Structure 1
Amino acid sequence: MKQMAFIITGTLLCAVSTTLLAMPNSIADGGILGISLLLFYAFGFSPGIVTFISFIALLGISFKYLPRHMVYKTMINVPLLSLFIYLTENLGQPIDDPLVAAIFAGLVMGLGFGLIIQAGSSIGGTSIIARICHQSFGWNIVTSTFIMDAIIVVAGVLVIGPLYTMYTIIALFTGKVASDYLLGGFDAKKAVNIISPKSKAIAKKITKEMGSSATYFHGSGTYTGEERQALYVVVRSHRLLTLKRLVREIDAEAFVVVHNVKDVSGGTFFATAVEGALEIDQGEEDPETQV
């Protein structure tokens, strides 16, 4: 039931992004939706009908080349997306600033696409063609999809002009970022590797003053061959500067590497200060203990 709710909501968001934000402001898209929008701008064809016919044709071909379960996953989205587009394609109004329209079109599309992916489905399109090419010729799916979408977007120069094609690229980028955040998590964090001969002292200070936990790793340098303990710490983004300050107070020469992470679950990375301090004190007896 939850997956069905995600599919319906995500498909509706993709549809209204197309009809309420993209269509009235001459913004295109990639894939089959992009083709339907370009045909609308050039000849006035209904995007809902074009989308439905195109997807049905692709699904018919894909039955011959793709596993059945891949085809079945898109059979719900295809008519639903076409129906939502058809019902709302005359409701949109132009926005004075096309750039704002492009940003929000991409945002809404990205959120809708993210919900559909979370439900384990897809809206098909060029990804179906890419999978057929992969099955038949061994072509890379991601590369093939990117090339086909790029060709469609670039073709927009002939229909909507270079300026609105650039707006389209902004919308696609915004949609990619939005779907990535929806799938990967909104609460961005930083993973930090700290290599220092004073790693125990650094870990103890981090736990007592920040309430964060850490993990010891053993390693050795390829140049000196000297064995060192490395710390792995995960902190919320706004606390990164505090962490770096604490490290510098103990070892100004510590080697620190920061990685972006979007989702963290499980473990005791965000233990309370009291719990963390107890773990550190116990860990000092055994350098392999996770703190």
Structure 2
Amino acid sequence: MQIRKRLKNINFDKKRLAFGPGITQQTLINIATVIIGSFIFAIGVNSFMIAGNLGEGGVTGLAIILYYAFDISPAVSNFVLNSILLVIGFKFLSRRAMYYTIVVVFLTSFFLWLTETWRIQTDEILINTVFGGALVGLGIGLIIRIGATTAGTTILARLVNKYMDVNVSYALMFFDMVVITIGLTVMTLEQVLLTVIALYIAMKVMDFIIEGMNPKKAITIISDHPDRLGKMINSEIRRGVTIMNGRGFYTQEDKDILYVIINKSQLTRLKRLIRRYDEKAFVVVHDVNSVLGNYFI
């Protein structure tokens, strides 16, 4: 716990290196994360997905289709197709994200070439499905977590997230399904269905990496007894509570609205306690992707 608190107090963005004043420790951490994520992604694709004659989503999925159909190296087609989409990304995404993404495109293509012969042959196709999906999701999750993308449909997914407020993972899933449908031209229906399972696993792993090991929930509470509930949350849940002023549109009555951020593991207990203290309370639970600030530890 002490180590965790110390790490929270370190601002790596402000710690600059002696040999490069313009480079922070966070920059090096981000680059290392991109390298590791790209390598894991490449292993998932070559060692498990292609080894099991399975497909993939996005540009990598198109690269695998070209590999099955015309024996074109996935590393080459991945680099060419992603380079085209990078031009689109420069116009719509932040410059910082695109700089990292350029690095990602080079690294993923390089690692796809490096691990091209790393094939794990098994007699159980579910091993390829599960571990391929998990490694692909882990690699993409690490890359997206630091603000980069794997280019390809990830750029399109981030654009959809930016302008339509759709979850990145679900936007990726949509584009991946389009590619998988095209994959029916070179794969059997069974292989395509197994690929869908692998992509679902990848999406869940990616969500876990992006949102963190302990996702948060935001709770909005409208009650006739806000002081009683506020004290309960402070003492029982041990979380700070914000009181906001509100007014009912129909009754035109002033209301105190409670707002609190909790760990997901505390949600069931909080709802049970709210029912005990005020069974008529109106409670809304919101998903929270991240929490910044020193008030939440």
Please say if 1:223 is aligned against 2:246.
no
User: Please, what TM-score do these two structures have when normalized by structure 2?
Assistant: 0.74
**Paired residues of 2:55 and 2:61 also in contact (CA < 8 A):** yes
Aligned-pair CA distance for 1:252: 1.6
Unpaired runs of 5+ residues, structure 1, are 132-141, 271-291
> Structure 1 residue 124 and structure 2 residue 151: aligned?
yes
User: How many pairs does the alignment contain?
Assistant: 261
Q: CA deviation at 1:43?
A: 4.1
The letter of the residue matching 1:108 is L
1:237 aligns with 2:264: yes
Decide whether the 8 Å contact of 1:186 with 1:262 is kept in 2: no
- 1:35 and 2:75 equivalent? no
Judging changes above 3 Å, is the alpha-carbon distance between structure 1 residues 164 and 192 closer, same or farther for their aligned structure 2 residues?
A: same
CA distance in 2, matches of 1:90, 1:78: 20
Distance in 2 (CA, whole Å) between partners of 1:162 and 1:222 is 54
* Partner of residue 11 from structure 1, selected from 15, 26, 38: 38
Checking the alignment, whether the CA contact within 8 Å between 1:214 and 1:269 is kept in structure 2 is no
Query: Are 1:95 and 2:126 counterparts?
Result: no
Matched residue, 1:115:
142
Contact 1:6 1:118 in 2 (8 A): no
Q: Indicate yes or no: 2:199 matched with 1:169.
A: no
Equivalent residue, structure 1, for 2:111: 84
SS at match of 2:185: helix
How far the C-alpha of 1:73 sits from its partner, in A, is: 4.4
Query: Percent identity, aligned pairs only?
Result: 33
Alignment-mate amino acid for residue 210 of structure 1: I
Write out aligned runs for 1:238-257 (5 A): 238-257=265-284
- 1:21 Cα deviation after fit: 1.2
Looking at structure 2, the residues matched to 249 and 263 of structure 1 have their Cα atoms a distance apart, in angstroms, of: 29
The residue that corresponds to 1:180 in the other structure is 207
What is the CA deviation profile of residues 102-141 of structure 1, one whole-angstrom value per residue up to 9, with x for unaligned ones?
A: 232222112212222344433323467899xxxxxxxxxx
Give the drift of 1:196: 1.1
* Deviations, residues 116-171 of structure 1 (Å, cap 9, x unaligned): 2344433323467899xxxxxxxxxx999877644321011121112221222222
Partner of 1:206: 233
Taking the aligned partners of 1:234 and 1:144, their CA distance within structure 2 comes to 26
> Could you say which residue in structure 1 is the equivalent of 2:132?
105
- The 3 A distance-change label for structure 1 pair 247 and 27 is same
Mapped to 2, the partners of 1:128 and 1:232 lie a distance apart of 34
Cα 1:199–1:144 change in 2 (3 A) is closer
Matched residue, 2:87: 62
Residues 215 and 148 (structure 1), Cα distance of their counterparts in 2 relative to 1, 3 Å cut: closer
What is the letter of the counterpart of residue 155 of structure 1? I
Contact 2:173–2:199 (Cα < 8 Å) also in 1: no
Q: Alignment RMSD, CA only? A: 3.5
Range with greater deviation from structure 2 (116-125 or 246-255): 116-125
SS for the counterpart of 2:259 is strand
- Secondary structure of residue in 1 paired with 2:188: helix
Instruction: Give the secondary structure class of the aligned counterpart of 1:159.
Output: coil
Q: Deviations over 1:202-246 (max 9, x none)?
A: 111221223222111111111211111111122222222222222
> 1:117 corresponds to which letter in structure 2?
I
CA contact (8 A) 2:82 2:105 kept: yes
- Equivalents in 1 of 2:294, 2:139: separation in Å? 31
